[in-house]
């Protein structure tokens, strides 16, 4: 268990280092990312076909603040009804962490949004992507819980695939809709991934202890 905990902390630390490197570049050398960001964005957006535009407009709503807040509240209530207390705490904690980090980091970096046509309204600053970080933390928490609780291996694979696909599509939608640079989305994913790995060992240990002490199912 100790070795497993160290592995998670190592992964989390490496991801955090990557985020810091991207953030440093965004803050002090933003022009060095312009060409790469622009080329990736142009490739993803293409000619903005109507079908894809409507699809990504629908997908991106799942990463909105109101949608993420609703998802956290409903998930916590359902988990408490199931008497899965530590799982509820995991979702709630990651929801709070997402809100605090997103608002704090956007204020810190103050990166303007891309100066291209925005297909949806987006206010505030660009870095990191709140949709990407929030979806990674919240849907990532639900993925962890479902992966642990679902007995069927095939069903577990299906659920894992759905959550991972949803997370990636939400991030992709922000690039397609023109409201984030690819580096914003990547940084949001990386930081969310780092937080998940930092918190997971603590959550998993408490889950074992609470189940052993019959504090939850």
Token readout for 173 is 């939608």
> Residue 176 in contact with residue 51, Cβ under 8 Å?
no
Cα–Cα distance between 136 and 8 in angstroms, integer? 16
Cα–Cα distance between 65 and 134 in angstroms, integer? 8
Enclosing H/E stretch for 55 = helix 50-61
Question: Is 180 an active-site residue?
Answer: yes
Question: Distances in Å between the alpha carbon of 211 and those of 44, 67, 88, 207?
Answer: 46, 31, 14, 6
Name the residue among 31, 192, 199 with its Cα closest to residue 105: 192
Question: Is 131 an active-site residue?
Answer: yes
Quick check: helix, strand or coil at residue 115?
A: coil
3-state secondary structure 117-176: CCCCCCCCCCCCCHHHHHHHHHHHHHHHHHHHHCCCHHHHHHHHHHHHHHHHHHHHHHHH
Q: Which one from 8, 118, 147, 180 is the annotated catalytic residue?
A: 180
The CB density around residue 167, as the number of other CB atoms within 10 Å, is 25
Name the residue among 94, 95, 101 with its Cα closest to residue 69: 95
Q: Which one from 8, 118, 121, 131 is the annotated catalytic residue?
A: 131
Q: Which residues are catalytic?
A: 131, 180
């Amino acid at each position: 268990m100790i070795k497993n905990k160290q592995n998670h902390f190592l992964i989390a630390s490496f991801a955090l280092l990557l985020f810091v490197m991207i953030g440093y570049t965004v803050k002090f050398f933003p022009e060095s990312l312009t060409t790469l960001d622009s080329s990736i964005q142009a490739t993803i957006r293409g000619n903005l076909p109507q079908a894809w535009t409507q699809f990504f407009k629908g997908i991106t709503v799942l990463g909105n603040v109101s949608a993420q807040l609703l998802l956290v509240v409903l998930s916590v209530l359902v988990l408490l009804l199931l008497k899965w207390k530590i799982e509820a705490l995991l979702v709630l904690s990651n929801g709070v962490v997402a809100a605090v980090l997103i608002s704090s980091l956007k204020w810190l970096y103050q990166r303007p949004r891309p100066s291209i046509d925005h297909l949806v309204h987006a206010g505030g600053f660009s870095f990191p992507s709140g949709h990407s970080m929030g979806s990674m933390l919240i849907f990532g928490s639900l993925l962890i819980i479902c992966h642990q609780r679902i007995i069927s291996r095939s069903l577990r694979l299906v659920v894992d695939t759905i959550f991972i696909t949803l997370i990636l599509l939400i991030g992709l939608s922000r690039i397609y809709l023109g409201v984030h640079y690819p580096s914003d989305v990547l940084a949001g994913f990386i930081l969310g991934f780092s937080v998940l790995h930092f918190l997971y060992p603590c959550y998993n240990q408490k889950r074992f202890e609470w189940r052993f002490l019959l504090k939850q199912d």
